[in-house]
Amino acid sequence: MKRQAWAIAAVIAATTVSVAAGRVCDFAFSECPGRYDKRVIQVPQEMIWLDAKIPFCAEYVHITNPNAKPPSIVFIIDNSGSMDENDPAVARFDVVASLLDNVKEFAPSAEVGLVIFTRRLSFDHRENAFFKSAFPGDTSQHDSFVPLTALNKVFPNGVLGIDTLKALLKHDERGNLTYVTKMPASRNNSGMGRSNTRDGTDISLGFQAGKVAMKDSKSDKANQFFVFLSDGTPSTPDNGREGLINDFITGASVPTTFTVFFDTQNSTPVAPSTIVQMTGNIKVNSYSGINSKSAYWAINVPGAQLETLLQNQVIGNVQSVPAQPKSAALATGDTTYRTIVMDEKGFAFSKHLVLQADTTRFEMAYTYTYIDTTGGLSVSKEKVIPYALTILRTPAAALPAGTGQGSCRDQAGIALFKDGTAVSTVTADDAQLEARLTMPDGSACKGCSLQVLPSSLKSKDREALTLTVGSGYLSGTFQREVSLVPALGDGRLQHLPGDSIVVVYISPENPLDMVRKAFPYRDILTVVNLAGQNDYARARHLPMNPYEPQFLLVAPAGLRAAPTEATDQWTLAPGPMAPVDSLRYVGLTVEASRAFAVDIYIYSNMGEFVNKLQFMVGADEFLKLEKSPKSNTRTMKVLWDSRSHYGNPVATGAYVVKTTVSLLKIPGIAEDRAVKVDYRRVGVLRQL
């Protein structure tokens, strides 16, 4: 847990982009998790929990019971020509022959039959009455198999059944059987024009013979098994059997079947759909109560893989009794979770379980009960089946078969407010802000918290907010300022001018349920002030050119103010002005923190229009203005020359000046323009 907390803190500190709230989900098993024992399961990163419900596994407990009836096993083995490539070591015969010794060890009287097929079956009852016809009663067909034979049977010549079976599995280096029929041509439809024994793959014929063989079983149906070994899909049946080529897929009247698919051509072999469908149908065909044990595997190293597979999976299931699920436990780290309920499909924990940021390892233990009849008594016992599961959260991972997406929910929402209005960008004016947390269901999250921090690693401050309940949200306020010296925990966020303001929510239930949102910061103030220039002007009665500008802008030389109407009404005076000249004018000093526009309207004391001025100082021109003592604002004077809109001197009297200064919007900052409106009464004293 410490390592995970450190990793999350590093992500918060290092990530500078905004992470929008999304959806987080459970990872769920739809089938027995045992199929992923000791394997790595990759899941998408939005999956941050393990679903609270986990399906049962159809487990069986292996016991040796001398009083139990022996199993009946029929091996159905594909010996078509393609097996030379997919099983070049002929493991299909050698491993089965070796396996008979293991079967005999735990069940000496077990019955074993052999069905070896290509386009036809490999034996002929006309050559040896020991073989049995796959078409009893039909004297026109002679495809035959090795019948169920007890391994400990002693034939009249003193040979044991197991040795007879091993002899019939002998072959040459190419997989051609030593005792294959010598009469293939007489058994082939004349239209086929073939006399060899290795062409074609009639799987339906193999299963048909297997079902005929199983009719002689002395065991009950729950103790009858097929073991099917093949490398392909059905092809090239004999003439007259074309319509039966896919009959085996139905799985009708077939006992529990274990299938091994050979494919040495692929590094990751996959069983064909025909085998997948067949196995699914056999599982539910009601032949016996254990048909659900049926399974298939795909291998590409037949020698080593086949022997291990048949030993562990097939023999381990053949001599076993069904077990009933009782309870389950999941251990991860130092914590163990135990199931609280179960239904007909699986176990359920009290809540979904948290996954780690990258790799989560679970030690799962299923406890089953079973009835042991060893010694003739029925004794209830328990067995624990362990599984080791590893779940790896990986970007854009594709979920494997048998798993899926469980329930999902939206993540919490984060917003930033100033004076009750949402902001997307923070400016230098925003000294106090409010962060709001909204849960997807509108609830007040118990134990939830928010942190605010600068976006860069150079800014060390981080503040935890105290949250209060609002209308459908939680909120916390904080002070903000630009500073090189942060003070942790003082409720005031100090950051650098280039930092974004980051708000982070981490769910108290699961640290991976984290929402991080960054708000860009612009080090721009919103300041606009107006100050008067004289209460009245001492204007002189001098001849004036009516076409001369009636306003004066006192600003640095080279300033280019943009008129917002068709005519220029001002002249530029670089300043400073001599006191005697200054007294000639009334007007205002504009102080602003960024580019601005000015609108001045002058009226007589009776409300009659006298004059107006409209202009704008753009962002580049604003930087030419004189800095105010505050350093982060700039100033300029706008003075009236006591003349009317037509250029004529106005009479002595009182006048009203309405001035509107609007700060211009900054691209990328979503805020209204700041506007300052000033009404000022001034006087004009006309002097000789």
Token pair 């984060």 is found at 414
**For the chain, what is the domain count?**
4
Weakest mean pLDDT among 110-114, 136-140, 213-217: 136-140
In a domain, 5, yes or no: no
In this structure, are 536 and 422 located in the same domain?
no
Instruction: Choose the final residue of a domain: 342, 374, 408.
Output: 408
Taking only the tens place, the pLDDT of each residue in 163-183 is 999 999 999 998 999 999 988
Residues 472 and 498 in one domain: yes
Report the C-alpha gap between 310 and 11 in whole angstroms: 49
Pair 151, 263 in one domain: yes
Tally Cβ neighbours within 10 Å of residue 143. 26
The amino acid that residue 669 corresponds to is I
Q: 239 pLDDT band (50/70/90 cuts)?
A: confident
pLDDT, tens digit (0-9, with 9 covering 90-100), for 18-40:
334 589 999 999 988 887 888 89
**Residue 368, CA atoms < 13 Å, CB-side half-sphere:** 21
User: Are residues 309 and 328 located together in one domain of the fold?
Assistant: no
Residues 313 and 420 in one domain: no
Burial class (CB in 10 A: 0-12, 13-18, 19+), 680: middle
Indicate if the pLDDT at residue 304 is higher than 50: yes
Q: What is the C-alpha separation between 640 and 646, in angstroms, rounded?
A: 14
**Percent of the chain whose pLDDT exceeds 70:** 89
Tokens of 448: 């939830």
Helix, strand, coil tally for the chain in percent (to 5) = 15, 40, 45
Write down which residue in 493, 522, 551 finishes a domain.
Answer: 522
Q: Is the pLDDT of residue 150 over 90?
A: yes
* Residue 481 contacts residue 471 (beta carbons within 8 Å): no
Q: For position 253, what pLDDT does the model report?
A: 96
User: Does one domain contain both 675 and 558?
Assistant: yes
CA gap 97, 231 in Å, rounded: 19
Does residue 461 register a pLDDT over 60? Answer: yes
Residue 329 has what pLDDT? 93
Domain boundary residue, one of 360, 383, 408: 408
What percent of the chain clears pLDDT 90, i.e. is strictly above it?
55
pLDDT at 580 over 90: no
In a domain, 32, yes or no: yes
Confidence of residue 671 (pLDDT cuts 50, 70, 90): low
CB 151 within 8 A of CB 103: yes
The token duo for 638 is: 């706008």
- Residue carrying the six token digits 């000022």: 680
Note the pLDDT of residue 686.
86
Mean pLDDT of the 538-557 span: 81
- Res 59 pLDDT > 70: no
Q: Are 578 and 554 in contact (CB under 8 A)?
A: no
pLDDT band (50, 70, 90) for residue 13: very low
pLDDT at 316 over 70: no
pLDDT at 491: 83
pLDDT, tens digit, for every residue of 252-302?
Answer: 999 999 999 999 888 888 999 999 999 999 999 999 988 998 999 998 877
| 266 CB burial (10 A radius; 0-12, 13-18, 19+) | exposed
601-641: pLDDT as tens digits? 999 999 999 999 999 999 889 989 998 886 678 999 999 99
pLDDT at position 178: 94
| pLDDT bracket for residue 8 (50, 70, 90) | very low
pLDDT interval class at 70 (50, 70, 90): confident
The answer to the question of residue 650 being in a domain is yes
Residue 504 has pLDDT above 90, yes or no: yes
Mean of the pLDDT values across residues 428-449?
87
Domain range spanning residue 450?
A: 411-522
